[in-house]
């Protein structure tokens, strides 16, 4: 029985790590698909060659910090050449444009011929506490935590601030 007492939690942790890894792969694939879909839509609507990039910061559940979670970053990019050339003989061929979407905010159109990257600056505050109460042969505990984040994204010398907060609490009790 001692072997099961040791092996059980190790197996649960291993499964937790695998699930976290699969979730990260799913987020990465989602960002690639989202970049292509938005790039295709933008290229079609504006008749331009469109480069579309996405950047997503999330807090995911973690085996090591189940209440607070961990920050994961996923990104994707696509270049769509939907442009229909000028058939009027005026010589005005379509131009290219670059759009960047960060988290849930709308896409930032960087304009024609733009390029560059995203410089993120993160300020994260975490708080976690465990309170244990014992009375009348009963023990209860409460684990609570909160996270506050401020994100500043610098894209082509322009700054775009974002922020979020989250918290959770879990209680356990037992006795004879």
Buried b (16+ CB within 10 A) or exposed e, 132-141: eeeeeeeeee
pTM: 0.69
User: 101 CB contacts (<8 Å, ≥6 apart)?
Assistant: 34, 35, 38, 52, 53, 54, 55, 107, 108
Sheet holding 108-112, edge to edge: 70-81, 49-60, 96-102, 108-112
* Conformation bin of residue 146: beta by default, left when phi > 0, alpha when psi is -120 to 50: beta
Place of tokens 């270049």: 79
pLDDT digits (tens, 9 = 90+) for 152-168: 888 877 888 888 888 88
pLDDT digits (tens, 9 = 90+) for 10-49: 898 899 889 888 988 999 999 999 999 999 998 888 878 8
The total domain count for the chain is 1
CA distance 89 to 163: 50
Distance CA 82, CA 50 (A): 8
pLDDT, residue 87, reads 61
- Per-residue 3-state assignment (H helix, E strand, C coil) for 74-86: EEEEEEEECCCCC
26: left (phi over 0), alpha (psi -120 to 50) or beta: alpha
Q: Residue 120 is part of which domain span?
A: 2-175
* Token pair 């003989």 in the structure block, residue: 89
Residue whose entry in the numeric block shows the structure tokens 């950047």: 55
Rounded CA gap, 101 and 80, in Å?
16
Weakest mean pLDDT among 16-20, 54-58, 93-97: 93-97
Enter the tokens of residue 99: 């759009």
């Amino acid at each position: 029985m001692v072997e099961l007492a040791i092996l059980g939690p190790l197996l649960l942790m291993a499964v937790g790590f695998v699930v976290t890894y699969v979730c990260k792969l799913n987020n990465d694939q989602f960002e690639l698909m989202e970049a292509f879909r938005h790039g295709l839509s933008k290229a079609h609507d504006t008749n331009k060659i469109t480069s579309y990039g996405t950047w997503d910061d999330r807090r995911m559940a973690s085996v090591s910090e189940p209440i607070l979670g961990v920050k994961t970053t996923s990104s994707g990019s696509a270049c769509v050449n939907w442009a229909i050339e000028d058939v009027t003989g005026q010589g005005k061929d379509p131009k290219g444009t670059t759009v960047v979407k960060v988290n849930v905010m709308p896409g930032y159109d960087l304009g024609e011929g733009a390029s560059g990257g995203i410089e993120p600056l993160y300020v994260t505050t975490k708080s976690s506490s465990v309170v244990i109460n014992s009375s009348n042969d009963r023990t209860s505990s409460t684990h609570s935590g909160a996270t506050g984040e401020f994100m500043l994204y610098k894209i082509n010398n322009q700054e775009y601030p974002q922020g979020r907060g989250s918290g959770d609490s879990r209680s356990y009790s037992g006795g004879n």
